[in-house]
Amino acid sequence: MVHSLIEASKTTSLDERSLYLRRLIVRGLVGGNRGHVGSSMSLVEILRVLFDDVLRYRPEQPDWLERDRFILSKGHGCLGLYALLADKGFFDVAELDKFCHADGILGGHPERSKIPGVEASTGALGHGLPIGVGLALSARMQKRDSRVFVVMGDGEINEGSVWEAAMCAGKHRLTNLTAIIDYNKIQSAGPTREIQDLEPLADKWTSFGFAAVEVNGHDLSALSEVYGRLPLSNERPTAIICHTVKGKGIPFAEGQPKWHHHAKFKPEQLAEIHAALGGRA
């Protein structure tokens, strides 16, 4: 079952909207002449389905009290989030051209004080889930039905603070909290199974009190189906383990640790990337 999800994630084809969102990411990469390529590309479908069909928010009123809270805890994947926020109108798409610029709002990691739609400043890893637990408890205290979604990287969950927060979320039976793992199997130094093996990953989340499910993180209908069933349990927080491909959509970057982060693109590299994604945004 899991093996087939992993294999399917590698062959899932991308539709025009998924390619367009990746072109927006590349616009940011070109704008900043740097960025976490692989870490952003693996996230796109996870974020796309959330922002298209699941999250409640108002781009014209980012601090709307009743909104769902979304935290990109793997802050280095921020270009994926920026593509969605720009696409949804939280800020002008042209901001992507100023990625990491002194006069831009979009940094190499997202900041709450600068970017409409960013709930938490992340980049230091292992911070999103604890904050998410606080937001979920807060919503419960205020008797609001806001839900909280936290997306983490697979390397990120090496951090002990993630598991502290997981234990606490389980204790409080935070059914309004969903933890999503972008399990692309490659962390900065290499394959997760070599650097710090996470398996059995679903069992870990289950044992910490979550209802866990695994899904092909590039399969739009599978993601929609899982998100549509939230909360998976009426007594437990949810963990969605998304099997993804690092660098998805750029064939020569897929599954390659050296494309975790890249800077100073050569013109021929950019030409190849644009060709793979069907042009420029």
Q: Which residues bind another protein (CB under 8 A)?
A: 111-113, 119-121, 124, 126-127, 129-142, 160-161, 164-165, 167-168, 171
C-beta of 21 vs 120, nearer to another protein: 120
C-beta of 1 vs 65, nearer to another protein: 65
Please enumerate, as own/partner, the contacts of 163-168 that have beta carbons within 8 Å and a separation of 24 or more. Answer: 163/208, 164/130, 165/129, 165/130, 165/132, 165/133, 166/129, 166/205, 166/208, 166/209, 166/210, 167/208, 167/209, 168/130, 168/133
Instruction: Please state, in angstroms and rounded to a whole number, the distance separating the CA atoms of residues 251 and 260.
Output: 14
Separation of CA 49 from chain center: 11
- Kindly state the smallest distance separating residue 281's Cβ from another protein, in Å: 30
Q: Is 46 exposed, middle or buried (0-12, 13-18, 19+ CB in 10 A)?
A: buried
In one-letter notation, the amino acid at residue 273 is: I
How, if at all, do strands 238-243 and 177-183 pair?
Answer: parallel
C-beta of 30 vs 131, nearer to another protein: 131
- Kindly state the smallest distance separating residue 57's Cβ from another protein, in Å: 15
Write the CA distances from 280 to 38, 254, 274, integer angstroms: 18, 19, 6
- Kindly state the smallest distance separating residue 14's Cβ from another protein, in Å: 34
3-class secondary-structure state, position 182: strand
Separation of CA 12 from chain center: 18
- Kindly state the smallest distance separating residue 152's Cβ from another protein, in Å: 13
C-beta of 112 vs 258, nearer to another protein: 112
3-class secondary-structure state, position 67: coil
Instruction: Please state, in angstroms and rounded to a whole number, the distance separating the CA atoms of residues 194 and 197.
Output: 6
- Kindly state the smallest distance separating residue 136's Cβ from another protein, in Å: 8
C-beta of 119 vs 156, nearer to another protein: 119
C-beta of 161 vs 233, nearer to another protein: 161
Instruction: Please state, in angstroms and rounded to a whole number, the distance separating the CA atoms of residues 250 and 62.
Output: 32
C-beta of 127 vs 262, nearer to another protein: 127
- Kindly state the smallest distance separating residue 215's Cβ from another protein, in Å: 26
- Kindly state the smallest distance separating residue 106's Cβ from another protein, in Å: 17
Continuous segment of H or E residues that includes residue 148: strand 148-153
